[in-house]
Structure 1
Amino acid sequence: MARFIGPKTKVARKFGEAIYGSDKYFERKNYPPGQHGNNRRRKTSEYGLQLKEKQKAKYTYGVLEKQFSNLFKKASRAKGITGEVLLELLESRLDNVVYRLGIAPTRAAARQLVSHKHITVDGKVVNIPSYSVKADQVIAVREKSKSLEVIADSVAASSVHDFSWLEFDQNALVGKFLNTPTREDIPENIKEQLIVELYSK
């Protein structure tokens, strides 16, 4: 299964944000990568800004180009504002929901837990990270996986109460996807309208 395995701090520095979460290396070098990263003052074109925003969304949610393009097509066919629907679809991915519930410390770790069959949806094992979670579906950790150290550590440090669209029982390791979040609920710093403009060219 294809996924990004390159240097994550370098990607975060390119966007000027710690898009993968807390990163001590990014905090030390929070300027663009490259020999002249600290001194670069080049003006970015309109296309460049739009492309950068799309790339940021892709890296943030761990989605490859073809997947992202398909999600955009789906969003453009749906009712509502295309950019907002796109983010709602990204937030509804199973790997993202597992991450938001606090079961995994990062989206990459959540993707791995799903792929390795540690997660169930409505009592059935689902090993597809891109699975689209629907309202009122129950996401849980498999009984035999509850002792995994990565899950225990992540749950202990999680703050799922910050998300109004989720419920989570930390003792039972069972969560519920109450509803698809609205744009106001999604904390990611993504200018989705720039992505829409890019695909509209």
Structure 2
Amino acid sequence: MARYIDSVCKQCRAEGMKLYLKGERCYNKCSFDKRPVAPGVHSQSRRKQSEYGLQLREKQKAKRVYGVLEDQFRRYFEMAERMKGITGENLLQLLERRLDNTVYRIGFADSRAQARQLVRHGHITVNGRKVNIPSYSVKPGDIIAVKGSSRQLEIFKALQDKTPRTIPAWLQVDMENYTANVVAMPAREDIDIPIEEHLIVELYSK
């Protein structure tokens, strides 16, 4: 399976903003803070972006934040188009409902990349069954938990000492028991990522 293996700080520099792809490490030492310009030899001499350029940048930003590659992102958009409601909001809802993103939102991981690794390594269960597919889509009523045998790992034991993260309204978390309930579908106001989803819709609608 294809995956991005270069420095994630390059992705932040390309978007001109911190995407916090490394979680807590982005709050401390980050190369974006030292050089907040786009990567490449012509980074200092960019012309004003066209309408297409702005739409493309917004799509790239969403892909990078959620850790999704192009073909999969396109499939999410096609699913969003078929759903009732506003296509852009449907797209963000589908991305938010990914299991790796949900694990991150709960606070079981410092970043979506770390959450993706925890899911792939079989440390997470959904409704009592191990699920190792990061793209698994959660739904209201699902119970997300750390597998019993994994709770003694240092990465999970340390959760009890961490400052609680702000949890979106569509999740209810019981950190003492390493569980969380999906109580609703994620609403647009629950998604705090600075993405203008209408630009993505305009890009794919051409």
Structure-1-length-normalised TM-score: 0.93
Q: Is the 8 A contact 1:103 1:155 kept in 2?
A: no
Q: Is the 8 A contact 2:125 2:147 kept in 1?
A: yes
Matched, 1:198 2:190: no
Indicate which of 185, 189, 192 corresponds to 1:187.
Answer: 192
Counterpart in 2 of 1:143? 148
**CA spacing shift, 1:64–1:51, aligned 2, 3 Å:** same
RMSD (Å), alpha carbons: 1.5
Aligned length: 200
Give 1:150 shift: 2.4
Give 1:12 shift: 0.4
Structure 1 residue runs of 4+, over 4 Å off?
A: none
Indicate which of 32, 36, 40 corresponds to 2:38.
Answer: 32
Counterpart in 2 of 1:82? 87
Give 1:40 shift: 2.7
Matched AA of 1:15? E
Describe the SS at the equivalent of 2:113: helix
Q: Is the 8 A contact 1:57 1:190 kept in 2?
A: yes
1:43-122 map, 5 Å: 43-122=48-127
CA distance in 2 between partners of 1:157 and 1:36 (Å):
42
Structure 1 gaps of 5+ residues are: none
**CA spacing shift, 1:153–1:25, aligned 2, 3 Å:** farther
Structure 2 gaps of 5+ residues are: none
Matched AA of 2:129? K
Structure-2-length-normalised TM-score: 0.91
Q: 1:133-184: per-residue Cα shift (whole Å, max 9, x none)? A: 0012100000111122223345643544441111111111111111111111
